[in-house]
Structure 1
Amino acid sequence: MRLCTLRPHVRRTWTVELRPQRGGPMLYCPLCTSDGHALLAPAAQPAVLAHLAQHARHEPLPAHLRTCQCHERGCRWHPRHRGCAGPVLLVLTRERGGRLWRLSDICTACASATPGSAVVPDVSPTPPSAKPATSPPKARRARVPRGARPELRVRDMLSYLAAALPWPVSAEARLIALQCALRASAPGLAVIHAGLLRAMRLAHSPAPWNELEQARWLCLLPDHLSLQRPGGVAVRLLDAAVHYQEPARRDRLHAAGWAMRVVTQPELRALPAEARLTALTLTAHHYSGTGWCTSVETDRLLRTCALDRSRLAAALDLLVAVKAIATWTVDPTTEDLHWEPPPGSAFPAHEVS
């Protein structure tokens, strides 16, 4: 007699479609209901991200069981490349001008080749209904061991923000959003201190915060909820995908501090935010996960920094002028951007082990 174990299938690809209607877009999810959900136009993208994040939280799968869903479908989501390689990531993809959104497990190679894709900070496998009060005190205080380097965490978060935030959102707002996402607690609360904002040259204008509010990515909390930290800004993040991040918050704070130190280097402080965000993105991509590299896909850099080619070139020229990088070129065949650190520099700056 043959014995077999039946394991229920766990879905690791979720798709949501936004269909334009006269009264506002309709959200259609083939897994939930045949009837769509009416949305207000400004709230459409946050609703899509929250819906996909809810599916991912409710259908967790251990990392060693996750496979590249793109490969299982014949790699039809991207142009041909050399094949699957690298760790399996949770990837958000935007297609058809924002009408179709897909969240799926994809290997690193396929994710890099997929247009309009961004790595999503992994969602917590712990069900929301779990009761931590029943755990022993030592288990509640146990810290998840440090895994990926802070460069990789910052790179993945910048990639995700490229998809989660509308294109017009400025570099100043993206730098603030990065700090909020990495410093947020599990309920999505974050306090950004005035000293950090001053160090990043972002303390004197409410415009970046207004941009993030208008994009419905966060909401500012009243002063009395600022946890009694004078001069700080308290926010609640409305992006569901960053509420349940792994790993432990202490590791994310480590990555946030690394990002802050990079953009506050003496040679970068006086530069516009676009140049500082470009420098941070290059520095985060300098560590590839398997070694050091000085190249990145130009399209990915443009999406991450929300720049067109002329503004990106201007930002790179500024980095050359202050000797943050030595040179930069774009390969005419692959369209990859290559740069060189200045001679004698410890690149990436302020590296943290």
Structure 2
Amino acid sequence: MSTWRDNLRTIEPYVPGEQPNLPDMVKLNTNENPYPPSPKVVETLKNFDCDSLRLYPDPNSQVLADALAKCYGLQSDQVFLGVGSDDVLAIAFMTFFNSKKPILFPDITYSFYDVWAELFQIPYERPALDDHFDLIPEDYYKENGGVVIANPNAPTGVLQSLDFLRDVIEHNRDVVVIIDEAYADFSGSSALELTKEYDNVLIVQTYSKSRSLAGMRIGYAIGNPELIRAMNDVRYSYNSYPMTRLSVALGAAALEDEAYFRETVAKVIETREWTKKELKRLGFSFRDSQTNFIFATHESVPAQTIFDVLREKHIFVRHFGQKRIENYLRISIGTQAEMERFIRETEQIIAQNR
């Protein structure tokens, strides 16, 4: 009998948010930007030389690396590029977490972290957030093989201060500390300055949220050149052409339109703040989100009930069955009109289930 199944690597995979395709839907379940990419991106796409697609892309994605370096006042060798921040984080896990000591990340955070740890056979521990969804710094003082902190955290939306991050880094100078900033642009705060203070800090960001380019899959990391070289060595060992010519061109174009970037981020924040007030009026409670989503629980109506009825109405939010957060909903911020519809329908659900 064949025994090939005995050699399969079995793992519980990451489950992404549902991707429905309905004409009347309000999609608030995957933290996408509700606004289109910059007009400069659209113009670049219209004028893109499609004949160039017959050629392999630049392995270094130099045009985009240079553009990001210029944007942040860095050298190009401080920038690593990948196919979305998921790709960047996966390569960082493979590159830096190779000791027998467990890496540390919270029990409630981006649920891909433990998947990568399992996939790459990295030991890990998940210190529990406190009852207010804050990290407890002392949990990260013990010996470990590395630290990963999403800041602001997902799905909670909580932002830890720079002083908090410095404290954790100071207690972990012998390992790499990754700060995942997928949502930092909506918080008005970034830990990028810490890469100048510490040689073991890697900041990871993405175009998927604030740059409205989730469909292009562009992510990047910033750190000292030694960290970046090590990540490139790993990346080139299995995929030497990760970024397409089109993604490089559109990624660089997006950086040229700072005004549009600031405008759309401000619109998302304005609608987020309006939605917070409305959710409180309806009896929801939540930490003060610093992201493009709100992680909320209702005082009397179960999250599962609200999720199910909204889904029937083609309004999609995210519900996690994970312990401690099973009665919470993660609600992405859409346009003002989309959030007004969400609030109207949610108000009806609550009235019918009191």
Q: Report the TM-score, using the length of structure 2 for normalisation.
A: 0.24
RCO comparison, higher one (Cα < 8 Å, 6+): 2
Q: TM-score, normalised by structure 1?
A: 0.24
